Structure 1
């Protein structure tokens, strides 16, 4: 299994902490987000030689930090004008050679138990979802539905909807965290659908359930596209054990709960 960490973003909502380093290098109680991720991966037996970081903003700082490791770097030179899917596809050549890829956002921290859940998944497409999200979102914002997005699954735990804005709490059965795994036919589907999305945008055609173009496509847009094309995405359930650091308020919440 190979690992791709998406860490190209600028982290503008974390300024001034990101004035001179990428978002993933922001420290949480003295240790950076990316170091905490890597520590967890190492604990689960993942080696540096199998890890690729998609960098962008201040990639020089990130590369310097890990210059003495076997971690690979791919740079999204268009990080200022593109989003997650474009960053992921910067590693397309790597993905085409492999049959098993774990994808992690670069701004999340998760426990060994959370990572083990996705490592144990047997499905070709597995997406970690947090069933205990509501309490966490309540600590992050006054009204959780201002920020939370839809996530629904069927009786067999296959996703039916993800990443849409809603005011209906019943449509948020769980919450996406940014940690997923694609194997074999599932990985090929990701590559094929990304290529289809790019083609549609170049031809002025709409994507699946978003007005965004390929360049600005979120990972949840890609996942929803896979769902709408009848691929089976397994919801891999957790009950907390992770944090997202999106802005300075998030950082305060994490630092109060994590040591």
Structure 2
């Protein structure tokens, strides 16, 4: 298995902490987000040589940090005008030559138990979801629904909807955290759907349930596209054990709760 960490973003909502370094290098209680991720991966037996970071903003700082390791880098040179899916597709060559890929956002921290859960899955497509999200979101924002997005699954735990804005709490059965795994036919489906999204965008066609163009696609747009094309995405359920750092308020919450 290979790992792709998506860490090209500028982290504008974390400024001034990101004035001179990428978002993933912001420190949480004395250790950066990316170092915490790598520590967790190492604890599960994942080696540096199997990890590729898709960098963008201030990639020079990130590369310098890990210059004495076997961690690999791919640079999204268009990080200022693109989003997650384009960053992922910068690693297309890696995805085309491997059969098992773990994808992680670069601005999240998760413990060993969370990672172990998705490493044990047998599904071709699996997505970690947090059933204990509401209490955490309540600490992050005054109204959890202001930031939460839909996530629904059927009786067999396959996702039916993800990433849509909603004011209906019943449509948020759990919350996506930004950690997923694709194997075999599932990995090929991601490549095929991304290519289809790019083709549609270039010809002015809509991309499933989003008005965003291919360049601006969120990862949840891609996942919803897979669902709408009748692919089976398995929900891997957790109860907390992770944090997201989007802004300085998030950082305060994480630092108060993370030991």
TM-score normalised by length of structure 1:
1.00
Q: Point out where structure 1 has 5 or more consecutive residues left out of the alignment.
A: none
Name the CA distance, whole Å, in 2 between partners of 1:187 and 1:118. 15
Aligned to 2:106: 106
Shift of 1:52: 0.1
Deviations 1:107-143 (A, max 9, x none): 0000000000000011000000000000000000000
Instruction: Please state whether the residue corresponding to 2:52 is helix, strand or coil.
Output: strand
Task: Give the drift of 1:31.
Answer: 0.1
Q: Secondary structure at the match of 2:162?
A: strand
Q: Secondary structure at the match of 2:113?
A: helix
SS in 1 for 2:198: helix
Corresponding residue SS for 2:126:
strand
The alpha-carbon deviation at position 171 of structure 1 amounts to 0.1
Q: Which residue of 1 aligns with 2:95?
A: 95
* Whole-angstrom CA distance in 2 between matches of 1:43 and 1:30: 19
CA distance in 2, matches of 1:73, 1:248: 27
SS at match of 2:178: strand
Shift of 1:170: 0.1
Provide runs of 4+ in structure 1 moved above 6 Å.
none
**Distance in 1 between residues matched to 2:93 and 2:3, nearest whole Å:** 14
Per-residue deviation, residues 36-63 of structure 1 (Å, max 9, x unmatched): 0000000000000000000000000000
Q: Distance in 2 between matches of 1:200 and 1:2?
A: 29
1:35-92 Cα deviation digits (max 9, x unpaired): 0000000000000000000000000000000000000000000000000000000000
State the partner residue of 1:209: 209
User: Within 2, Cα distance between the matches of 1:174 and 1:137?
Assistant: 11
Please state how far the C-alpha of 1:4 moved relative to its aligned partner: 0.1
After superposition, the C-alpha distances for 1:136-181 in whole angstroms (9 at most, x for unaligned) are 0000000000000000000000000000000000000000000000
1:235 is paired with a residue whose SS is: strand
Aligned to 2:218: 218
Residue number in structure 2 paired with 1:138? 138
Distance in 2, matches of 1:8 and 1:45, equals 25
Q: Secondary structure of 1:42's match?
A: helix
* Offset at residue 6 of structure 1 (A): 0.1
Q: Secondary structure at the match of 2:250?
A: helix
Q: CA deviation at 1:8?
A: 0.1
Cα RMSD of the aligned pairs, angstroms, is 0.2
- Residue 30 of structure 1, CA deviation: 0.1
CA distance in 1, matches of 2:3, 2:137: 27
The size of the alignment, in residue pairs, is 259
Q: Distance in 2 between matches of 1:250 and 1:108?
A: 11
State the match for 2:45 in structure 1: 45
Q: Does the alignment pair 1:118 with 2:118? A: yes
Shift of 1:229: 0.0
